[in-house]
């Protein structure tokens, strides 16, 4: 299938946060890459600087963290990042040291649902 006409190959994912620089630094510590902190309201992390994949962190002063899982069923996660790792215990330890926390519910043995400092869920999974 062909992409839309004029597609440049750039693909970014943007996360809302009350602290774009802080969340950008968290993900730079978690994933590596080059962090552009030039605009305090919109920070970009080039995860692989030779690629066109990025994470952006946009200022949302009234950000409300997603609820996962929502026992009332009113809110869905909407989007999350899957991050493949060689050692789940070591990756969890590193993520926690950077400011993440494990979610209360863990649905699979080979996956750890984590919450970043702004409350966005992401998954660390054993990538065989």
Structure tokens that stand for 100 in this block: 């993440």
Question: What's the domain count of the chain?
Answer: 2
Measure the CA–CA gap between 81 and 84, rounded to whole angstroms: 10
Inside any domain, residue 72: no
Task: Give me the chain's average pLDDT, please.
Answer: 88
Could you tell me the pTM of the whole model? Answer: 0.84
Co-location of 55 and 85 in the same domain: no
- How far apart, in whole angstroms, are the C-alpha atoms of residue 14 and residue 9? 16
Residue pLDDT, tens place only, 68-82: 777 777 766 667 888
User: In 10 A of CB 21, how many CB atoms?
Assistant: 16
Asked if residue 50 and residue 16 are part of one domain, the reply reads yes
Contact between 115 and 104 under an 8 Å Cβ cutoff? The reply is no
73 falls within a domain:
no
Q: Are 50 and 88 within one domain? A: no
CATH code for position 89:
3.10.180.10
**Full residue range of the structural domain in which residue 105 is found:** 81-126
User: Cβ distance 122 to 31 under 8 Å?
Assistant: no
Are the CB atoms for 61 and 20 separated by under 8 Å?
no
Residue 69 lies in a domain: no
SS3 (DSSP) at 92: helix
pLDDT in tens, 3-34: 777 777 777 899 999 999 999 999 999 999 99
Phi-psi region of 40 (alpha: psi -120 to 50; beta: other; left: phi over 0): alpha
Task: Confirm whether 2 is domain-assigned.
Answer: no
């Amino acid at each position: 299938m062909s992409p839309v006409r004029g597609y440049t190959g750039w693909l970014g994912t943007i996360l809302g946060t009350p602290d774009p620089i802080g969340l950008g630094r968290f993900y730079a510590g978690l994933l590596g890459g080059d962090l552009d902190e030039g605009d305090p309201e919109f920070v970009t992390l080039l995860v692989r600087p030779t690629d066109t994949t990025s994470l952006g962190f946009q200022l949302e002063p009234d950000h409300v963290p997603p609820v996962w899982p929502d026992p009332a069923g009113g809110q869905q996660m909407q989007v999350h990042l899957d991050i493949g790792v060689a050692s789940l215990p070591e990756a969890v330890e590193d993520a926690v040291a950077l400011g993440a926390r494990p979610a209360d519910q863990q649905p699979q043995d080979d996956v750890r649902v984590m919450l970043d400092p702004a409350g966005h869920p992401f998954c660390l999974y054993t990538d065989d």
